[in-house]
Every structure is written in C-alpha cells, then in structure tokens.
Amino acid sequence: KQWYQRRVAITAGMLRFSKSLSVPHVYRGIHSTGASCQRVPMSKFDPETDVRENFATLQRNVDIVKSRLRRPLTLSEKIVYGHLDEPETADIVRGESYLRLRPDRVAMQDATAQMAMLQFISSGLPRVAVPSTIHCDHLIEAQKGGAADLKRAKDINAEVYNFLSTAGAKYGAGFWKPGSGIIHQIILENYAYPGIMLIGTDSHTVNGGGLGGVFVGVGGADAVDVMAGIPWELKCPKVIGVHLTGEISSWTSPKDVILKVADILTVKGGTGAIVEYFGPGVKSLSCTGMGTICNMGAEIGATTSIFPYNERMAR
C-alpha cells in the first residue's frame, strides 16, 4: 500500500539516493504509560500536567480514526489525527480537508509573543487553556559579545520584557527571561517528548521533531486560538517518507542528509507535507542531529518533520 505520497531512499554513509512511490510495512505503535505508574509531568515546569492523560486521548483518537479510514497510519498521522478535536466526524483527506486540532503546548518567542499576549488579554479569559511559554531570545542582537549584548537587550527592551513577564504571570504562561537560551533548544531539552503536538510562533519550531513529536511553526493568531481553548485549524498534511539506510560516516554529518533531501525536493517540495524519516540509518543519528535535520525542514517548506522513537531518544 502507498503510505506516503512520495518516498526518498537515502543511504547515509555512501550518499546513494533513489526515489520510489511505495514503502514497506513498518508498524509503529503509540504506547501509553500503564495505569500503575506514577504521575508523569509534561515537564519539570508543569508538574500538574500528566502526560499519561495525553497519551490516553491520543490512543483513543487513533483507534477511532483507524476504524474509519480502514488503513494503516504513519507515525505523523497517528500524532496529528490523535489530536483531532472530533475524530468521529472529522473530514480526513490528505492535502484537501482542514483538520481541527487540540495541540498539547504553545511556545512563543519574544518578538511575536507581544501581539499574541495582547490578543489573548483582549479575549477576557483568566488563564491560558493549555501549557504555554514565552521565550526571550529573538530581541537580543549579536554585536559585541554575549554579556554585552544581553545587557544592551535588557536595557533597550526593558518595557517589552516587563510586559511579557507580568502578563505571563497573570495569565499562567511560563516566562524564560533573557539569557535563558534559544527557544528551540529550550523546547528540545525541557518540553519535547515523543507523541506531543506543540505549536510555536517561529518557523524553526520544527526542530523538536528530533524527539519524535509534531512541532509546527505558526503565526501569533494561531497561538492565541490554542491558548484560548479554540481548536487549531491545519490543512490535512500530505506525507513524504525518507528511508535512511547505512550509517553516517566520518566525513558526513546529519546536515548532509537534509541538504540532499532539499536538493531532491527543492525549496518548495515539502509544502503542505510532513516529512517522516525512518529506516535503519536513523540509528546512527544523535538527537541533536535529528533535530538539525528537522530544523532545516523549514527550508523546503515542510509543515514539519519527524523521527520515530529510538534508543538515542531514550538516553
């Protein structure tokens, strides 16, 4: 069966490439934590949010969609369709229908968070409906050096930082102050996990796919919808499969993989699609390497990119 609209096969070590339209049956399951296990917070910063509840909903929705479509689902489809607002009645046609989704988290960088928070405040709601965070990194200009640039940014953007920190405190959004780090690395280290759906107000939010989740870059208005508890609309993504075989050799890096994919698909070849990487070649990639590949997926116009759960993520 044709699981993917397009398949790209890549032998990493030898850099040998081929294309085809079908893929072998590779079964991937969504496994939820057993009821006997202790509470599992979404992150150390969200102790009240239990990930097991997210997985239970995910599995239930996936079962409903599979019974309706009567075909196997790819990993990205399981995660995307697992977050449907109404899986029983949703119109699911790749590249055509619009899905109403319930993401697990929202992340905003300081340049786009200003308008997003103002719009949320105008909604009149007392608190954000889903875990949300604000990250102060984009307004720091690189000029002289880390310490000097950070001090300058704090002086110039004092009013902005004060607004974001106080608004976040009042409405329940986490605040990562200037100097905390780059938003994408913070998300990868603190909020990313396999199966999550996170939207962020930055095109390179897709970096998080290196840890097996669906991470999508959006505009501020989309983030406000999710923070307000309104389903987020996304055109049902097409799926492009990239089959990795072999191993990364001493003279190649993960960036070579995405550069070749970009060479094949061009800068717009991934538009409207999720790029799924799979196959034995995945084992030779580190988590940061997988994140790099997913991060650069934005350069081919992909909705996002994703890797399957593997032993590198388990570390």
Name residues whose C-beta falls within 8 Å of residue 278's C-beta, 6 or more positions apart in sequence.
26, 75, 241, 242, 243, 244, 307, 308
Dump pLDDT digits (tens) for 270-308.
Answer: 999 999 999 999 999 999 999 999 999 999 999 999 999
pTM reported for the whole predicted model:
0.86
Query: What is the per-residue pLDDT for 25?
Result: 35
pLDDT at residue 28 greater than cutoff 70: no
pLDDT at residue 155 greater than cutoff 60: yes
Dump pLDDT digits (tens) for 60-117.
Answer: 999 999 999 999 999 999 999 999 999 999 999 999 999 999 999 999 999 999 999 9
**Buried/exposed code over 301-310 (b: 16+ C-beta within 10 A; e: otherwise):** bbbbbbbbbb
pLDDT bracket for residue 54 (50, 70, 90): confident
Residue where the block lists tokens 């993989």: 257
CA 119 – CA 278 distance, rounded (Å): 40
| Pair type for strands 214-217 and 197-200 | parallel
**Buried/exposed code over 107-145 (b: 16+ C-beta within 10 A; e: otherwise):** bbbbbbbbbbbebbeeeeeeebbbbbbbbbbbbbeeeee
Which stretch of 42-46, 130-134, 168-172 has the lowest confidence by average pLDDT?
42-46
pLDDT at residue 164 greater than cutoff 60: yes
CA 241 – CA 276 distance, rounded (Å): 5
Residue where the block lists tokens 């405040």: 121
Mean pLDDT confidence for 129-158: 93
CB 132 within 8 A of CB 222: no
